[in-house]
Structure 1
Amino acid sequence: MNIVFDLDGTLIDSAPDIHATANIVLGDEGLGGFDLPTVRGFVGRGVPHLVDSLLGAHGIKDSARAARMADNLIARYEHAVTLTQPYPGVEAALQALQAAGHRLAVCTNKPLAPALAVLRHLELAGYFDVVLGGDSGLPRKPDPAPLSETLRRMPPGPAAYVGDSEVDAATAKAAALPFFLFTEGYRHAPADSLPHRALFSDFAELPGLIRALG
């Protein structure tokens, strides 16, 4: 089976690095920073959405300024890895899934270079046959196009999607894939309110849930 994962809030808790980087970028603009929960709430829809949300929280709507800030953030993003950690049990679950013959991939709204950088830093990159970033030229999730493209780059066969958020649930639904919802990520809505095949709070549960899918 092809198993595609979201990245931020699913495999890794990257919010501390994103928070620190966002506040540096805001400081470069002479704007005040935000606390971690606020910035975490802006994560998941890609850099343009993050920057627009940061400016919007200051009551600012300025496309030129947003573009400048996005460039600044992306330039810093690739090195923003030191505060990021995989969620407990992630690597063991990836090992178990790979050993069972499943093919693994990542489909994220994070730009590709920082996504690869953090996966390499955490020594997780080798588990994935495909990593597709939010700067692929396709619409970002929840549009199903990037998930479909990820699967196009993998061998034909049944597939499932693993994520943590409303965006991921909508993406899986649009792509007509079974969705496994990790409940400890960056979701806002109650877990039960999102369409899903199964919920899990511990990555040790995931290989068994995939096995039950058949």
Structure 2
Amino acid sequence: MIPKMTPVIFDLDGTLIDSVPDLMAALNQVFEAEGQAPFDLATVTSFIGKGVANLVRRGMETRGLDMADHPRLVAAMEAAYEADPTSRTRIYPGVTEALETLAQAGHPLGICTNKPEKAARIVLDQMGLTPFFAAIVGGGRVALKPDPAPLQLCIAELGADTAIYVGDSEVDADTAVAAGLPFLLYTEGYRKSPAEALPQTARFSDFSELPWLVAEQA
């Protein structure tokens, strides 16, 4: 029996869900409307991690587009993605079972993502994950990760003063460090560096391991 402990807060993209195919579809819709060739999956994956504005900026820089159009293309990207955010997205294996185990043990659960909060909530609703989470903090309310502000806000909305953070990337690791929290690294997401190079409390490749890693932090 896993004891009730501190809240567990999760990143979303690359941690709980593989969402790049839908992000790629939305980005390519916007860029093709600008007369640009589509991006491939590996390229879009390399752009992920610091929010939709950065995603679009990276695409524009790659194609040499005028950054004066950035606000317009960000708005177009957000609209395209919100219109169809989950057709190609999948929940990583074992996620639902791990969330159920943690929730049944009494751990409050939260989401802290750089995805715009409206889009994050749509995705969580459509994937059937919303009921697990007592707090959802996405991009648009405070500074983006790796600033610790969104993680701290999520902890506050859970009525706590600490948490365990679970993520997949350099941005997530840096956020946990900035917030002074334990960090559990999911190794099958979108990180760009070797897993051992990221600051971490522990790492895992299979979500069946997560409840026991959480228990070790109790």
Coarse TM-score class (shorter-chain normalised): over 0.9
- Equivalent of 1:140 in 134, 138, 144: 144
Taking structure 1 as the reference length, what is the TM-score of the superposition? 0.97
The answer to whether 1:17 aligns with 2:36 is: no
Unaligned runs of 5+ in 1: none
SS in 2 for 1:72: helix
Amino acid at match of 2:135: V
Alpha-carbon distance in 2 for matches of 1:80, 1:105: 20
Tell me which residue corresponds to 2:3.
Answer: none
2:114 corresponds to: 109
C-alpha separation in 2, matches of 1:156 and 1:81: 31
- Residue type of the alignment partner of 1:63: M
Residue deviations 1:132-152 (CA, integer Å, cap 9, x gap): 11111x110000011011111
State the partner residue of 1:121. Answer: 126
Q: Which range is displaced more, 76-85 or 149-158?
A: 149-158
CA shift digits 1:168-192 (9 cap, x unpaired): 0000000000000000000000000
Deviation per CA, 1:101-121: give whole Å up to 9, x if none: 000000000011111111111
Pairs within 5 Å for 1:54-203: 54-60=59-65, 62-78=66-82, 79-136=84-141, 138-203=142-207
Q: Which whole-Å CA distance do the structure 1 matches of 2:75 and 2:100 have between them?
A: 36
Per-residue CA shift, 1:69-111, capped at 9, x if unaligned? Answer: 1000111222221100110000000000000100000000001
Letter in structure 2 aligned against 1:67:
P
TM-score by length of structure 2 reads 0.95
Paired AA for residue 6 in structure 1: D
Looking at structure 2, the residues matched to 119 and 154 of structure 1 have their Cα atoms a distance apart, in angstroms, of 18
Matched, 1:48 2:53: yes
Aligned-pair distance for 1:158?
3.8
Deviation at 1:157, TM superposition (A): 4.7
**Paired residue total:** 212
2:80 aligned partner, one-letter code = R
Aligned AA for 1:159? A
Moved over 4 A (4+): none
**Contact kept? 2:9, 2:111, Cα under 8 Å:** yes
Q: d(CA) in 2 for partners of 1:68 and 1:107?
A: 26
Out of 176-185 and 116-125, give the one that drifted further: 116-125
Alignment partners' CA distance in 2, 1:186 and 1:141: 15
Offset, 1:155 = 1.9
Percent identity over paired residues: 48
User: In structure 1, what is the Cα distance between the partners aligned to 2:161 and 2:51?
Assistant: 28
Q: Structure 1: how far apart are the matches of 2:185 and 2:62? A: 28
Q: CA deviation at 1:63?
A: 3.0
**What SS class does the counterpart of residue 189 from structure 1 fall into?**
coil
Amino acid paired to 2:38: G
